[in-house]
Amino acid sequence: MTQPRHEITQKYESNVRHIERWKLTIEWLSQFNIKGHCIDLGDKTEMTDLIESKFGVTVDNTNHDLDFPFNYNKKYSNLFMFEIVEHLVNPLVCLTSIKQYISKDGILYLSTPIYRPKWMRNKKLHFHEFNFNELQFLIDKAGFKILNKKIINPTKLRYAITGIRPLIRVIGFDRNILIALQLA
């Protein structure tokens, strides 16, 4: 079984919530020293281009099913895993595989939806949506420690007037967590 995937299309990349999430993520990443070998775990998106442009780095991308162990022949100082973990059948397999590709002081930057009520979760595309305790348990089991975290809401207020679900997103049910991890 493979993870449900968003096809990276112009519609996906032009979604205002994705664009706002990327903007907030780039602002958050600015506090870190992003340089050296970088890899974005997942398909190349506009976010990959933003990272390369903002930080002056080259970012490799993966092109395989992250639910299975994978093999690369180099170590990375920066690994990006934005909006991926919720799509994996077993995110622990992926996080455990990643450990061998992180350089000594490398950082894994991860984001995922968090704290959504069950009735609001995306069951068509997400195997998992976590609360913080569940995510912390996964991180601990995979052998990482949290260096930094931030919760963001990428839904703009003007979006709230377009319906009930958007209004619910604006008042706090559409949150993502940004986490910087290092090996424990």
Which CATH number belongs to the domain containing residue 116 in this structure? 3.40.50.150
- At 136 the pLDDT is 96
Cβ atoms of residues 93 and 127 within 8 Å: no
* Residue 28 pLDDT exceeds 80: yes
- Residue 3 counted as domain residue: no
Share above pLDDT 70 across residues of the chain, in percent, rounded to a whole number:
77
Give the model's confidence band at 7: pLDDT under 50 very low, under 70 low, under 90 confident, else very high: low
- Residue 5 counted as domain residue: no
- Residue 168 counted as domain residue: yes
User: Cα–Cα–Cα angle for 86, 92, 95, nearest 5°?
Assistant: 90
**Domain total of the chain:** 1
- Residue 175 counted as domain residue: yes
A 10 A CB-CB count for 50 gives 17
- At 63 the pLDDT is 76
- At 1 the pLDDT is 44
- Residue 31 counted as domain residue: yes
Give the tens place of pLDDT for each residue, 32-83. 999 998 999 988 888 999 999 999 999 998 877 888 877 778 899 999 999 8
Of residues 133 and 129, more confidence is placed in 133
Q: Whole domain around residue 150: which residue ranges?
A: 10-183
Q: Is 143 left (phi over 0), alpha (psi -120 to 50) or beta?
A: left
Q: How far from 90 is each of 106, 177, 182, CA to CA, in Å?
A: 23, 19, 20
Name the range with the highest mean pLDDT among 25-34, 78-87, 91-100, 107-116.
25-34
- At 142 the pLDDT is 96
- At 2 the pLDDT is 47
